[in-house]
Amino acid sequence: MIKVAIAEDHQSLIDGIDLLLKYEEDITLVGTANDGKALLELIQEKKPDVILMDIKMPKIDGITATKSITAQHPNMGVIAFSMFDQEDAIQQMIAAGAKGYLLKNSPLEEVLTAIKAVHKGDTFFDKAIDPSYIAVQDNISSGKSLLSKSEREILTLIGQGKTTSEIAAIRFTAVSTVEKHRKNMIRKLGLSGKGELLRYALEKKYDF
């Protein structure tokens, strides 16, 4: 019996998947969450074998949640279930530890196939995904990014509307340190002008 959890902000889609799973004798849906935070709480209790994970969700996004889950529960299989078919999205989910990636544009039945494959220890990728996006897994583990860890963290906080002094308080640094990080990011990203960093933070969050 495969225990499955679903994280997806659109309840209607969860309900559809629920209908699909209802007649699968070897799969049981043990819980659902409409945001990343609720999911993390749910899995502590329900201990699912496989998790169907949306990317774009309130509170904690799917990539972040996947990282957390695969770190704490390496035996739980995470399958991304997303509208995003871009390379960056796919690579980030794989880097986060996802064992599968399904597109919402594909038939719902694929979900069953993916769940069974991932539970068996295999990986499963939607046929509509360009295989080259998956093949570059070797580069993913190096996790290289244009921005440093601190820069990415600050960018996230900027996207949340925090002022530089608020960010400094959150990170226990001087305001000038945060400003320097901002300048570094602006330089690296080739931006210029007031508000461009905020624009970048907001437009790139889900712009894979």
Partner DNA sequence: GTATCCATACCCATTACAGGGTATTTGTGT
Partner DNA sequence: ACACAAATACCCTGTAATGGGTATGGATAC
**Residue 182 binds which entry of a copy of itself, DNA, none, with Cβ cut-offs from 5 to 8 Å by kind?**
DNA
Q: Which does 181 bind (CB under 5 to 8 A by kind): a copy of itself, DNA, none?
A: DNA
The residue among 121 and 195 lying less far from DNA, judged by its C-beta, is 195
Residue 185 Cβ, how far from a copy of itself at the closest point, in Å?
15
- Residue 138, classified by CB atoms within 10 Å of its CB into exposed (0-12), middle (13-18) or buried (19+), is exposed
Could you tell me where the DSSP H helices lie in 54-126? 62-72, 87-96, 110-119
Q: Which residues ranging from 76 to 115 are in contact with a copy of itself (CB under 8 A)?
A: 81, 83, 102, 104-111
Q: How many other C-beta atoms lie within 10 A of the C-beta of residue 176?
A: 10
**Nearest approach, Cβ of residue 63 and a copy of itself (Å):** 19
DSSP string covering 132-147: HHHHTHHHHTTT--SS
Task: Find the helix packing angle between 196-204 and 175-189, rounded to 10°.
Answer: 70
130 touching a copy of itself, by CB under 8 A: no
- At closest approach, how far in Å is the CB of 53 from a copy of itself? 14
The letter for the amino acid at 199 is R
- DSSP-based three-state secondary structure for 117: helix
Position 15 contacts a copy of itself (CB under 8 A):
yes
CB of 183 to a copy of itself, least distance (A): 17
Binding-residue total with a copy of itself (CB under 8 A):
32
d(CA 93, CA 65): 10
Integer Cα distance of 112 and 142 in angstroms: 32
Distance in Å, CB of 7 to DNA, minimum: 29
Residue 58 CB contacts under 8 Å (≥ 6 apart), including other chains: 9, 34, 35, 36
Among DNA, a copy of itself, none, residue 24 binds (CB under 5-8 Å by kind): none
Binding site residues, DNA, CB under 7 A:
148-151, 163-165, 171, 173-177, 179-184, 186, 191-198
Binding site for a copy of itself (CB under 8 A): 9-13, 15-17, 19-20, 34, 81, 83, 102, 104-111, 161, 163, 193-196, 198-199, 202-203
